[in-house]
Amino acid sequence: MEVYPGAVPKSTLRILGKQGYYPQFSEEYTQKQLARTQSSFGQFANAMNQAVIGEIIGGRMEGVGYMLDLQQYGNLISGEE
């Protein structure tokens, strides 16, 4: 099987290293290869990044959404809620 370093992101080629990139396989195969070659520290760091960033940005957006719900405030003031 020929290793093909075609038009793929450099980060993908850098991570896969000597295993190379095989375009004849699906994107799912490539994603599994990337996951398989990721170190334990890399997995932990990415999980923390997703959790922290997701919570900070997602939580902030949720809070702003609640603050901007003017119809809800109007209903509370008029006693409809």
Q: What angle do CA 12, 17, 20 make, to 5 degrees?
A: 75
Look over the chain and give the mean of its residue pLDDT values, rounded to a whole number.
77
Residues 55, 72, single domain; the answer is: yes
CB 50 within 8 A of CB 33: no
Q: Does one domain contain both 22 and 44?
A: no
Please give the model's pTM, rounded to 2 decimal places: 0.44
Domain count for the chain, please give it: 2
Q: pLDDT of 10-42, one tens digit each?
A: 766 666 665 666 666 777 877 787 788 888 898
Contact indicator for 5, 20 with CB cutoff of 8 Å = yes
Predicted confidence at residue 41, as pLDDT, reads 92
**Rounded to an integer, what distance in angstroms lies between the CA atom of residue 7 and that of residue 75?**
56
Domain identity same for 68 and 55 = yes
pLDDT of residue 53: 85
Say whether both 57 and 29 belong to one domain.
Answer: no
Provide the domain limits for residue 53. 39-81
